[in-house]
């Protein structure tokens, strides 16, 4: 394909950030040890490999917790400074408190300050350098968009909101007035435009084109594929940048796009998931028991009324069960009938808001997990009256019931509030994405994002 442009995909950027965060901090520790009175981190020690592995694990883990590798955070100086500060503070704390897998706690406490500065300053400088030099359109992917005019503007808005792509040209059945700044190519021009504009990726949506048009376009796609150009369907691209399935999957042949039983057949995954449920729920119940006297007293004065409430919810395979929660709303909050909770819901008491922000209101559901009604991770269980309405208005809403509901899940950490049918439809597409992509990796991401939600008081 000739001289290709240099670009960084989203996944490549995340790897780059993690790699150079660790490289610069490790190099800085070595230089600080060499030039200053910093003998805590001795590179001559035979345990140095274990120390470095421990440091890398802590830094990457807490970087995930404090969103240091969120690309939106990484593109903002204030956000990345705050995130890095929190990451290095907690990394330093944990590193000094685990002397069996890190150096022994130094007698001179100034060594702790040296350590903190040695990992904070170089990473901060590197991140500012990244924002200045690498977070620019020059290193974004150049893409060609092929789509019918009926949906092309929506796709352009989706791509623009992501911020990591340059739309170099588009092919459609007609020119779009709002895209006058972009080159509208014909079928005959596709190959030459891709080569001349150094386009590395083509996003195609065949819906709306005639069979003859698609055949002609595909002939060009074969030639460009041979040149090393990446060609993606709109649906797969949509999943990649939104982490939810597109609406187009919710049609009569949904089973062609969503494998609903892939991980149910994986015995190791099912066993691990249940083991995780048991361990986390046991820890959660112990914490709840410890905190319960304090919660009871505060509830007595500031949230007068019952501490717990029980509600019917729909679980796996559409079966109903009783869910346990700490009450967060005023007594008789639904005297006029069931209503969806919304952001800044006036029915939530001040103490109830605290319980929700910290997710403590969900803690009694650990008993539901031990009973087998729920899992740690899965779609949030809805009330039967809401489910009946949603199944009537949203195609295939019942698909979310093929797995156990969870305390937390992909939809909760990605799209916590859903107070309308339209928002519930979007939330469903996050749930189905999770069911489709279920893996230990995505479960880990959900747990990390849930921890972040609790730490930053972002609970519902």
Roughly what angle, to the nearest 10 degrees, separates helices 384-393 and 421-437? 90
Q: Which helix (H) or strand (E) element contains residue 353?
A: helix 350-357
Residue 4 lies in a domain: no
Residue 5 lies in a domain: no
pTM of the model: 0.84
Mean pLDDT of 417-443: 89
Measure the N-to-C terminal CA separation of the chain; round to a whole number of Å.
Answer: 50
Q: Structurally, how many domains does the chain consist of?
A: 3
Residue 156 lies in a domain: yes
Tokens found for residue 422: 């339209």
| Gyration radius (Cα) of the chain, Å | 26
User: Does the structure show a pLDDT above 90 at 50?
Assistant: yes
- How confident is the model at residue 426, as a pLDDT? 92
* Alpha-carbon dihedral angle through residues 155, 159, 160, 161, given to the nearest 10 degrees: 100
Confidence of residue 43 (pLDDT cuts 50, 70, 90): confident
Same domain, 75 and 211: no
pLDDT mean across residues, the chain: 88
Same domain, 267 and 238: no
Closest CA to 364 of 201, 355, 71: 355
Same domain, 118 and 169: no
Confidence of residue 410 (pLDDT cuts 50, 70, 90): very high
Same domain, 309 and 434: yes
Same domain, 351 and 208: no
Domain range for residue 92? Answer: 10-134
Q: Which helix (H) or strand (E) element contains residue 151?
A: helix 149-162
Helix (H, G, I), strand (E, B) or coil at 326: strand
Mean pLDDT of 284-311: 91
Residue 257 lies in a domain: no
Residue 345 lies in a domain: yes
Closest CA to 361 of 318, 303, 427: 303
Q: Of 99, 134, 169, which residue sits at a domain end?
A: 134
Q: Model confidence over 7-36: pLDDT tens digits? A: 777 778 899 999 999 999 999 998 988 888
Q: Using CA atoms, how far apart are residues 87 and 430, in angstroms rounded to an integer?
A: 28
Closest CA to 435 of 260, 306, 288: 260
- Cβ–Cβ under 8 Å, residues 378 and 406: yes
Same domain, 292 and 434: yes
Residue 438 lies in a domain: yes
Residue with tokens 């083509």: 202
Residue 145 lies in a domain: yes
Q: Using CA atoms, how far apart are residues 38 and 122, in angstroms rounded to an integer?
A: 16
In this structure, what are the phi and psi dihedrals at residue 184, rounded to the nearest 5 degrees? -90, 115
């Amino acid at each position: 394909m000739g001289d290709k442009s240099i670009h960084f995909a989203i996944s490549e950027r995340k790897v780059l950030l993690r790699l150079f965060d660790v490289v610069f901090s490790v190099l800085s520790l070595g230089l600080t040890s060499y030039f200053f009175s910093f003998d805590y981190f001795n590179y001559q020690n035979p345990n140095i490999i274990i120390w470095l592995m421990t440091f890398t694990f802590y830094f990457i883990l807490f970087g995930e917790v404090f969103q240091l590798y969120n690309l939106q955070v990484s593109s903002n100086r204030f956000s990345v400074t705050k995130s890095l500060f929190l990451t290095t503070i907690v990394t330093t704390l944990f590193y000094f408190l685990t002397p069996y897998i890190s150096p022994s706690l130094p007698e001179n406490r100034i060594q702790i300050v040296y350590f903190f500065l040695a990992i904070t300053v170089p990473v901060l400088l590197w991140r500012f350098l990244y924002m200045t030099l690498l977070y620019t359109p020059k290193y974004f992917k150049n893409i060609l968009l092929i789509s019918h005019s009926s949906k092309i503007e929506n796709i352009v808005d989706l791509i623009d909101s992501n911020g990591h792509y340059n739309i170099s040209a588009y092919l459609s059945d007609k020119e779009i007035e709002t895209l006058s700044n972009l080159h509208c190519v014909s079928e005959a021009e596709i190959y030459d435009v891709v080569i001349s504009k150094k386009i590395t990726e083509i996003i195609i949506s065949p819906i709306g084109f005639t069979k003859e048009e698609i055949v002609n376009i595909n002939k060009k796609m074969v030639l460009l594929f041979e040149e090393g150009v990446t060609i993606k369907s709109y649906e797969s691209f949509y999943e990649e940048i939104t982490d939810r399935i597109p609406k187009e999957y919710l049609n009569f042949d949904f089973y062609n796009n969503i494998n609903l039983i892939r991980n149910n057949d994986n015995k190791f995954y099912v066993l691990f998931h249940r083991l995780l449920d048991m361990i986390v729920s046991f820890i959660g119940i112990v914490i709840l028991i410890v905190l319960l006297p304090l919660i009871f007293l505060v509830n007595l004065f500031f949230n007068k009324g019952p501490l717990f409430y029980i509600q019917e919810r729909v679980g796996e395979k559409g079966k109903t069960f009783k869910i346990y929660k700490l009450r967060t709303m005023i007594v008789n909050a639904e005297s006029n009938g069931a209503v969806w909770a919304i952001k800044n819901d006036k029915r939530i008491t001040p103490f109830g808001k605290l319980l929700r922000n910290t997710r403590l209101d969900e803690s009694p559901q650990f008993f539901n997990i031990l009973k087998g009604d729920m899992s740690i991770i899965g779609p949030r269980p809805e009330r039967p009256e809401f489910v009946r309405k949603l199944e009537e208005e949203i195609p295939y809403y019942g698909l979310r019931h093929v797995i156990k509901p969870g305390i937390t899940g992909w939809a909760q950490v990605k799209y916590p509030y859903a107070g309308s049918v339209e928002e519930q439809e979007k939330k469903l597409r996050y749930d189905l994405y999770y069911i489709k992509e279920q893996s230990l990796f995505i479960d880990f991401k959900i747990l990390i994002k849930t921890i972040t939600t609790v730490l930053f008081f972002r609970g519902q």
